A and B are shown apart, each in its own frame.
Chain A
Amino acid sequence: KAGVTQTPRYLIKTRGQQVTLSCSPISGHRSVSWYQQTPGQGLQFLFEYFSETQRNKGNFPGRFSGRQFSNSRSEMNVSTLELGDSALYLCASSLTGDLTARGAFFGQGTRLTVV
């Protein structure tokens, strides 16, 4: 069974541009969550999607958005990039978003560098 797949693995963008990251969850998983990892702030929750609906959201500005497709694949978009958006973006999938029994499974991440 394939794991969580994130593409691309690495990205370099210029300030002010926008970027789209992609995540394919484990087959059968319908919940996808996104996290930002930086040396200063650690791992922070961005948002969670289930059945194409955003169900949960962290404390990030509106420049960060996402969506989920009917096949459960998810994309995350960051507009008007800032230097501080440089980070490792991790995607996690689970069956339903109820993580109490099994936790979540993570992809290898997309390393975004804003210059």
Chain B
Amino acid sequence: AQSVTQLDSHVSVSEGTPVLLRCNYSSSYSPSLFWYVQHPNKGLQLLLKYTSAATLVKGINGFEAEFKKSETSFHLTKPSAHMSDAAEYFCVVNHAGGTGYGKLTFGQGTILTVHP
């Protein structure tokens, strides 16, 4: 079975400081991993994806994530937070084919608060 665990339900940072949102995954074989963001009353937007091509993945809006198989982690980082980054972030896993068709498994989410 596949699952993801987001280690922090809330993260609070000051504008201009680094962001770290932590995610561990559990999977029987190589997963595809994603980070999505959800702003209030909005749908989900794809930030970045890992699909085994490179372990360091760059996404939109300055975010990046590093896939570490030995630690089963896929943490999301950004060097400098902006006020507009305040949102809920989801770590997500998918497996190809069969029961993976169209199915994303979500972590519980991390709410990021950015203070001026």
Q: Contact residues of A with B, CB < 8 Å?
A: 4, 31-33, 35, 42-45, 48-50, 55-56, 58, 90, 92, 94, 97-109
Give A105 Cβ to nearest chain B Cβ, in Å.
Answer: 7
Asked if B99 contacts A56 (CB within 8 A), the reply is yes
* B residues near A56, Cβ cutoff 8 Å: 99-103
Asked if B105 contacts A99 (CB within 8 A), the reply is no
* A residues near B43, Cβ cutoff 8 Å: 4, 90, 106-109
* A residues near B96, Cβ cutoff 8 Å: 98, 100
In the bound complex, how far is the Cα of B44 from the Cα of A105, in angstroms?
A: 8
Q: Contact residues of B with A, CB < 8 Å?
A: 32, 34, 36, 41-46, 49, 51, 90, 92, 94-97, 99-109
In the bound complex, how far is the Cα of B40 from the Cα of A108, in angstroms?
A: 10
Can you report 29 A-B residue pairs in the complex whose CB atoms are below 8 A from each other?
A: A4-B43, A31-B101, A33-B102, A42-B109, A43-B104, A43-B109, A45-B104, A45-B105, A48-B102, A50-B101, A50-B102, A55-B101, A90-B43, A92-B102, A94-B102, A98-B96, A98-B97, A98-B101, A99-B102, A99-B103, A99-B104, A100-B32, A100-B51, A101-B32, A101-B49, A103-B92, A104-B102, A105-B46, A109-B43
